[in-house]
A and B are shown apart, each in its own frame.
Chain A
Amino acid sequence: LSSSSLLLHHHHHPWSPIMETTKSMRRARQRRSHSSSQFRYQSSQVELTPLPLLKDAPVAELHDLFCKKLQQCCVLFDFLDCVADLKGKEIKRAALNELVESVATSRGVLIEPLYPEAIKMISVNIFRTLPPSENPEFDPEEDEPTLEASWPHLQLVYEFFLRFLESPDFQPSMAKRYVDQKFVLQLLELFDSEDPREREYLKTILHRVYGKLLGLRAYIRKQINNIFLRFIYETEHFNGVAELLEILGSIINGFALPLKSEHKQFLVRVLIPLHTAKSLSIFHAQLAYCVVQFMEKDATVTEYIIRGLLKYWPKTCTQKEVMFLGEIEEILDVIEPSQFMRIQEPLFKQIAACISSPHFQVAERALYFWNNEYILSLIEENCQVILPLVFATLYRVSKEHWNQTIVSLIYNVLKTFMEMNSKLFDDLTASYKVEKQKELKRERERAELWRGLEEYQERRMQMLTEAARNQRNLQERGERGDTLNPSSPQTAHSDQPEPKPSGASSGAGESAT
């Protein structure tokens, strides 16, 4: 994997700015809450004194001064108290600004001894246990996030880190001694920050780290997997899923072919199950992008993807159902015809089910597939298979749906089918009633079967209780001294299912021993 294969081109994706809605305006709290749990671990407060400016320093002293400024920036301040130590805060802010400026513009500043100091300064500032959410039912779509109080400094530290990584002088071979697995793990945990500004920085930074420090790639992927798996199966809460997926989108883009089994496993066991999350809407665009990236890399994963989505198809949440349908359309847009044939049957059964949804947005979204020319051409090629799958639904829903738009969309679809294959269409129309009858008959037979089974069960249960009672009586008599052989376990298990003795006494024998 060359680092150049890693592209970050998500910023112009049409879906990036999804959630600027009026809803959040409406529910915005009057008070923007700030939080920081960073300051409290520093016991004694150091007084800062301003150092000379970097730009005035003689070349010989530059590195030493740079280092001193880095050390100065390791001092943390209490931002919850906004008037505390204003002078110190200002000195640190100015120093950080200078460091950013220097690393971004001058060459030759980043020499080896500065690496541990720089990474230490970054670690001290950014690594912290994120505070508990002020709003335990925080809904990222509706509520205002809690913003990081120490952002005035934190932002500059992130900016410095980013410039550091992007500097032409940056040497991965030196950095990797300090930016190690432990460092990356802590960096990943910060993605849970509620502050979107912080996550934005983290996203770009992690992307650069992934691109430049090749030795950490496998580890980063594995830890992202762990974060996702915990999110899916344990906590259902992690603020940075969208950002991590965005990075993964570009990582997937750079995968070499043929796909390693590790990557396929990631698709099947992590990306697809991510669709089950309650908060899917927040990261669905990025997730769908990743899924489609996989398909474009290797068409043979198509079947896993579609079957996976069908397995996790939302049962009660129509909003999610619409998202799933959107993703299916994105997939069908790039599907290979041979792959389409492998999944058309289960897929169109689901699409038929969506068309008959009483929620008109679901039905509408499914019917829009017929407006997509590529999908329409796939349907036409496989009309013999697909039409029989959806015909009965279309026919029934066209007569029953409460929403007029749906009814007219269905008429269009029926018309399209009629034009595609009028013979098949007529046959299906003619046999519709017969099929319906057959279905009813099957249902009756099933009901009959279960009734029989349940009657049988009831009788068996009665027999078992009776046998158990007899057994008990016998035993009691035995205990009173009557000589009576308890039935041997061997005979108890000779399994002639009926009529009375064996099966029954196997239960009874048990309760007696």
Chain B
Amino acid sequence: MAGADGDDSLYPIAVLIDELRNEDVQLRLNSIKKLSTIALALGVERTRTELLPFLTDTIYDEDEVLLALAEQLGNFTMLVGGPEYVHCLLPPLESLATVEETVVRDKAVESLRKISQEHSPVDLEVHFEPLVKRLASGDWFTSRTSACGLFSVCYPRVSSTVKAEIRQHFRTLCSDDTPMVRRAAASKLGEFAKVLELEYVKSDIISLFTALASDEQDSVRLLAVEACVSIATLLPQEDLETLVMPTLRQAAEDKSWRVRYMVADKFSELQKAVGPEITKNDLVPAFQNLLKDCEAEVRAAAANKVKEFCENLPEDNREQIIMTHILPCVKELVSDTNQHVKSALASVIMGLSTILGKDNTIEHLLPLFLAQLKDECPEVRLNIISNLDCVNEVIGIRQLSQSLLPAIVELAEDAKWRVRLAIIEYMPLLAGQLGVEFFDEKLNTLCMAWLIDHVYAIREAATCNLMKLVEKFGAEWAQNTIVPKVLGMANDPNYLHRMTTLFCINALSKACGQEITTKQMLPVVLKMSNDQVANVRFNVAKSLQKIGPILDSNALQTEVKPVLEKLASDTDMDVKYFAQEAISGKLSYHWVLKPFNRLSYI
């Protein structure tokens, strides 16, 4: 390759463009993804004068290719010669910002936003802002939706006349004929408000906000709720009541559940944005209504916010508000007809105990926890159990243990294996909080029973659980309570249970340490190398490889090696394979000590 040092005659643009035009979409896509390589080979000048015009002209392609192109162009500034020339990238991105496919358009807008920062203020006015205007007045809705995302990036850096124009364009788009554009504008309203001067927030944004929040389509109205958060943050407290609250109150009682859902979903943000006074007077009743909404979706969204809402209440009368206004609603939700509502509540309700303190928790919350622990829906019970730590700090878990145990036992035996799996995952946490005695007495049997579950995922999780328990309670505990039971399973008639012994050993050996591993576990593993079932034998090989690092070299040489060599000449192909794997694996581990042995296995 004579001129590979970069002589551009080696890569005539035609050849490269051919690659970008390849008939096969996949190849075309590959080429586009490496567009920077092509641009680099062409040099900045030809990239500007030849490659970019080509790209601009041929924007009719598969969306996948266009998406890659839109992304590439956002990182192209250096390849066209730096910020001075960055505006060359605008024409292709402008076309991309008008295509139908949302993903492509959004990516083009993202790239445009990125390169807008690389424009000098002059270039921004000369090149970028006219593009935004063109998009904003485009015929088809796609270009107008794209424009919505570009106002806020140029507004802060242009002159005041241009600023006035931009505000005018944004206003127009907020009352666009098509709901798609109004949605785009509504979703950018908050972002745009943030870059505006306060006087224009009050004069322009508020009227747009009010209009969008009472749009005929609920999909537009609900986006205005999002904007409400940003707008309320920008305004001084004294203006909130007149400028924002009428609209927010109306949204909280909107006839469409989607809008009410949005209010519930953004409740914590709204609460922070409007401050403690308005929260007390307006948001508390609004929140009560949302918790009692007729639509389960809304109730669930509100239930999710209970803890956060209470946490953020003004401290001076937080307890009183919770006790008189919120708690009665919460009590009703505990016996809601919809399980999503109950389980949303169960995932946060425990958090209230830290806010309300010991006495209130025992008197008011504990009955609710207990009721939820007995709920018919397993997800509710699980959510309570998974958050036990909050209560533990306040009243100690013992208060609950009476009800906790039946709930755990029931979940542990649930017919759905995913439920069993979920409760297993909380075992180490529970064990930590309940203490070793309680655990040994009540839960140990469950943990052992999972080892012979008929679903593999449960057996696997059960082994992992044992490992975490040993890490918690120590090797001595392991030796006394679980190791004998695990090793006993090695003689089980069911080969799956015998394999579980091996899996447990794999998991436990490290936590149990060299002593237990060598003295108690290793003999069992070695004995199992004579198992009739090949699956057990090759798992022996795997186990030996696993526990090898924990054993001392004497045990390795005298006990492990002969067994592995025997397995390496097994009649079963898989056993042979894994034995050989183990041998080479282990010996390479000890290679530093016995460099010569290794040669015989190469």
Contact = CB atoms under 8 A, between A and B. Distances in A.
A129 B180 contact: no
Contact of B82 (A37, A459, A498, A506): A506
Nearest to B27: A446
B15 to A, nearest CB: 7
Given A450-B34, A495-B43, A510-B78, A230 B219 contact: yes
A31 interface: no
Nearest to A80: B294
A497 B6 contact: yes
Contacts of B44: 493, 495, 503, 506
Nearest to B78: A507
B567 interface: no
Interface of B is mostly: helix
A493 B45 CA distance: 9
Contact of A499 (B5, B45, B83, B255): B5
A405 B34 CA distance: 42
Central interface residue in B62, B100, B101, B183, by most chain A CB within 10 Å: B100
Contacts of B126: none
Contact of A273 (B15, B19, B100, B258): B100
Interface string B553-582: 000000000000000000000000000000
Interface in B398-427: none
A497 B1 contact: no
Given A230-B179, A234-B102, A269-B100, A452 B10 contact: yes
Contact of B5 (A129, A226, A496, A498): A498
B257 A129 contact: yes
Nearest to B11: A453
Interface in B220-278: 255-258
A503 B44 CA distance: 8
Given A229-B180, A499-B5, A456 B81 contact: no
A182 B43 contact: no
A453 B295 contact: no
A510 B218 contact: no
B531 interface: no
B216 A453 contact: no
Central interface residue in A131, A233, A311, A496, by most chain B CB within 10 Å: A233
Given A230-B180, A495-B45, A503-B44, A37 B81 contact: no
A80 to B, nearest CB: 10
B285 to A, nearest CB: 17
Given A129-B218, A185-B216, A498-B6, A37 B11 contact: no
B141 interface: yes
A449 B387 CA distance: 59
B4 A510 contact: no
A264 interface: no
B38 A182 contact: no
A457 interface: yes
A226 B78 contact: no
B393 interface: no
A132 B295 contact: yes
A86 B40 CA distance: 79
Given A230-B179, A273-B100, A498-B7, A493 B257 contact: no
A139 interface: no
A292 B568 CA distance: 68
Interface in B26-42: 27, 34, 36-38, 40-42
Interface in B367-394: none
Nearest to B7: A498
A217 interface: no
A453 B140 contact: no
A40 interface: yes
A460 interface: yes
B8 interface: yes
B37 A457 contact: yes
A459 B41 CA distance: 11
Contact of B41 (A41, A226, A273, A456): A456
Contacts of B38: 453
B6 A457 contact: no
B256 to A, nearest CB: 4
B333 to A, nearest CB: 18
Given A311-B62, A497-B6, A499-B6, A132 B40 contact: no
Contacts of B1: 452
B255 A510 contact: no
A182 to B, nearest CB: 7
Nearest to A455: B4
Contacts of A182: 216
A454 interface: yes
Interface in A159-196: 182, 185
B165 interface: no
Contacts of A454: 34, 37
B123 interface: no
Interface in B190-213: none
Interface string B525-558: 0000000000000000000000000000000000
A271 B37 CA distance: 38
Contacts of B256: 129
Given A129-B218, A131-B257, 13 more contacts: A132-B257, A230-B219, A449-B15, A450-B37, A452-B11, A493-B44, A493-B81, A495-B44, A497-B46, A498-B43, A506-B44, A506-B81, A507-B78
11 contacts: A37-B257, A226-B179, A233-B100, A446-B19, A449-B19, A459-B5, A493-B44, A495-B45, A495-B81, A498-B43, A510-B83
Interface of B: 1, 4-8, 10-11, 15, 19, 23, 27, 34, 36-38, 40-46, 62, 78, 81-84, 100-102, 140-141, 178-180, 183, 216, 218-219, 255-258, 294-297
Top 6 A-B residue pairs of the complex, sorted by shortest distance between their CB atoms: A497-B43, A498-B6, A495-B45, A129-B256, A40-B294, A233-B102
